[in-house]
Structure 1
């Protein structure tokens, strides 16, 4: 009888190669749109992925967003095509510092309003030292990434005009304001096939009323509830106009703000909207093929 002995090193190398192939196959992106509200505590970070392309909206606080990216992005993918910072407050921008340190970014969309905090200055320095294209979103701007379409509806032209800001100059932190930074939240309609969603940042009731007058609001399947479910966020008029089936609330467990507020939850319940919360479910992933959608 002939015995063939294979050195342990060869066996180990074969197992590593096979494991890598297995990971590559099972982490290969599909043709669906995945919308993941990452569990980053009391903050926002939403990953949208179609194929090997990603849009990241906000980064939450600290480095928890990295866990979410590592979980849902292919392990070999170190580039994020578009990052959207809705507005420069720490619970939205802080985690992006860690993202910019680790990923190559194609486009950075952020309102031009500044925040003088040290943390935001760190992010600004990282952005300016990278080769990212900076865009200041405003009403009427359209962004396309493959089959993902974003239609910007805030900041509105009137809001920017009130701050003597005209057009998009592609700078980060180019003006200061006495207004609430939440007012400048980037709000956009997302379209993927016949599936529609709206992401709302931290806009308040005044901004919602202004946005409703633009005629850009439409019925959607999915809404990211404004300002973590704050009492001063979602209005009945905005909810009626968008008429969502699913509402996602990104919020920290046992937070000191009382988010989400009972009035908001009652409003959603009365409207028959399914509520999905990161403090109860962890990451919330919705998947759509452009027609149907489901909770993953």
Structure 2
């Protein structure tokens, strides 16, 4: 090989390295990525070297999303939030716990009653992942990220989880378990709903919360002086059960993401799209937009192209 070719190859490799490092360079900004995982939910939050994953989608597709936005040398996800134990939210977390070291997982103690969920439970146990069963009032902080749990409350869990020695005193945001209890309610009603604050911006992650719960949370937020939300993850792929005029009033003029794939349920519902549009809320959908990347420096927010 001639000297000229060696120099050329070296320069090309150097250029590739510079481009690659610029893509994965740490930033003070916050990124929220709605991963395109089909008919399921998965949201990745990145700030500097901190990664937080909310749900894992219905299969291993989430790994493609994580590999795209997390540098290959970073094999730690500081926190996973499993909003509720339904397969389109938890299945991908099995692969996540295999590939990454997970610092802790926030999840309610409701059991899914499936072999796949048992596999996830065993994986979390054998990997030594800390489990926290969060209740309303818990705040988790990383850098400038403040995450507040809005639902479920201790009272809700004590009333609706079935166990012969269940008491409210057991729910204290300390160490927890996966899949210890059953219920007669729709598991969607147990969805962990969390608000995230970064600078002057507020983001809301809703799991599969239904309309009644969204209305109630909107009232609670307003009573606590929160009259504006900049971003909301629409529950349950935009189904009719996610309609909440009270909640979407708070998001008026903001951004709504809908995680949805090919389905036979009519998701997202026309009524939801119309309601959001009437409130001048920008609608972004993973089935048409692919991965959705929102970035903010705490003072401005923009959509990454």
Name the TM-score, length of structure 1 as normaliser: 0.91
- Matching residue within 238, 244, 248 for 1:239: 248
Identify the range of structure 1 (168-177 vs 66-75) with the bigger mean alpha-carbon deviation. 168-177
1:11–1:266 Cα change, 3 Å: closer
- Once the two structures are TM-superposed, the CA of residue 156 in structure 1 deviates from its matched residue by 2.0
Identify the range of structure 1 (67-76 vs 258-267) with the bigger mean alpha-carbon deviation. 67-76
Number of aligned residues: 292
How far apart in 2 are the matches of 1:26 and 1:279? 25
- Matching residue within 149, 153, 161 for 1:152: 149
Give CA-to-partner distance per residue, 1:152-186, whole Å, 9 cap, x none: 00112321120345314411112111111101111
Which ranges in structure 2 are unaligned for 5 or more consecutive residues?
Answer: none
How far apart in 2 are the matches of 1:165 and 1:6? 76
1:53–1:179 Cα change, 3 Å: same
1:87-102 equivalent positions in 2, closer than 5 A? 87-102=84-99
1:25–1:210 Cα change, 3 Å: closer
Work out whether 1:26 is the aligned partner of 2:23: yes
Which ranges in structure 1 are unaligned for 5 or more consecutive residues?
Answer: none
How far apart in 2 are the matches of 1:289 and 1:201? 25
How far apart in 2 are the matches of 1:129 and 1:144? 26
1:11–1:45 Cα change, 3 Å: same
How far apart in 1 are the matches of 2:138 and 2:65? 28
1:295–1:151 Cα change, 3 Å: same
Equivalence for 2:229? 220
Q: Alignment partner of 1:39: what SS?
A: coil
Equivalence for 1:187? 193
How far apart in 1 are the matches of 2:6 and 2:100? 34
- Once the two structures are TM-superposed, the CA of residue 47 in structure 1 deviates from its matched residue by 0.4
Q: Alignment partner of 1:259: what SS?
A: coil
Give CA-to-partner distance per residue, 1:182-231, whole Å, 9 cap, x none: 01111011100101110100011232234345445642110001111010
Give CA-to-partner distance per residue, 1:12-55, whole Å, 9 cap, x none: 78976774565234311211101000000000000010011111
- Matching residue within 98, 103, 117 for 2:100: 103
How far apart in 1 are the matches of 2:203 and 2:181? 30
How far apart in 2 are the matches of 1:244 and 1:120? 38
Equivalence for 1:263? 271
- Matching residue within 278, 285, 300 for 1:277: 285
How far apart in 1 are the matches of 2:47 and 2:88? 25
- Matching residue within 43, 60, 63 for 2:60: 63
Equivalence for 1:170? 176
Q: In 2, are the aligned partners of 1:30 and 1:50 still within 8 Å (CA)?
A: yes
Q: In 1, are the aligned partners of 2:75 and 2:99 still within 8 Å (CA)?
A: yes
1:274–1:10 Cα change, 3 Å: closer
- Once the two structures are TM-superposed, the CA of residue 131 in structure 1 deviates from its matched residue by 2.1
Name the TM-score, length of structure 2 as normaliser: 0.89
Q: Alignment partner of 1:285: what SS?
A: strand
Equivalence for 1:120? 117
